[in-house]
A = this chain, B = another copy of it.
Amino acid sequence: MNVLNITVSHKLYQKNPEETDLGKRILSKSIELMEQMGYEQLTFKKIATAIESTEASVYRYFQNKHQLLAYLINWYWGWLEVKLAQEFIILNSPENKLKRAVQLLVAPMDQDARIPHINEGTLQRIVVAEYPKIYLTKEVDVENKEGYFHGYNRICDILTMIALQINPEYKFPHSLFSTIISAAQSQQFFVEHLPRLSDAKAGCEDIIDFLTELTLKTISNDE
């Protein structure tokens, strides 16, 4: 069983949490608490208390809650990129790759035993519930330069390249995949909380069908 390391830009932490035991406990408990109580209610004080450490110690790893969220979300996109690469080894047609990408975006993630301090399934639910909060701020331009959105950009680029294999003429692949990825998150949220905004039943099948059809029809060049 080989060790796997998802690398996150050093702009996204003060001190690398993957390098110490305390750092890993911060990550692990942050994920658990953020999913339970949501980003707004979470505080560094609560994380510190839960891992029996202190607020000041948590601040040594992350400048603030926003950076912590950005770290976790970038970790998620890095992880998704690894998963995509693994899956694409045995997939040959670009259509099948896009289909599989949609499935990975929407289907619940299994926990990877090699990385016990990150619960990928919980992290995925955090991404669904909190993702836009990392870019919908007045600091977006500065943070963009610091790589806060790098993971998302990369996924979007990868899917764009695949789509262009199907139809090199398609004019809006980046727009399409930023839309698809964000719809993958929001449709999951809507099914659970705002069902009038979705036609999907509980479970991920309908969302996958919706997004797959949307993607393939849009990039097709017939008609």
CB distance from A16 to the nearest CB of B (A): 26
Bound Cα distance from A209 to B218, whole angstroms: 12
Cα distance, A214 to B217, chains bound together (Å): 8
Copies per complex? Answer: 2
Which residue of the partner chain, among B129, B137, B174, B220, contacts A198 with CB atoms under 8 Å? Answer: B174
Complex Cα–Cα for A152 and B195 (A): 12
Q: Is the interface of A mostly helix, strand, loop or mixed?
A: helix
Interface size class of A (residues with CB under 8 A): 35 or more
Cα separation A171 to B205 with both chains bound (whole Å): 13
- Does chain B have a CB within 8 A of A20? no
A153 on the interface (CB 8 Å rule)?
A: yes
Closest to A174 in B: B199
A25-33, A73-81, A84-92, A184-192 - the one binding chain B: A184-192
**Complex Cα distance A66/B49, Å?**
28
> Which of A136, A149, A153 gathers most chain B CB within 10 Å?
A136
- Interface check A204, CB cutoff 8 A: no
Known: A206-B172, A214-B214, A222-B223. Is A140-B178 also a contact (CB below 8 A)?
no
Interface stretch (choices A1-9, A37-45, A54-62, A117-125): A37-45
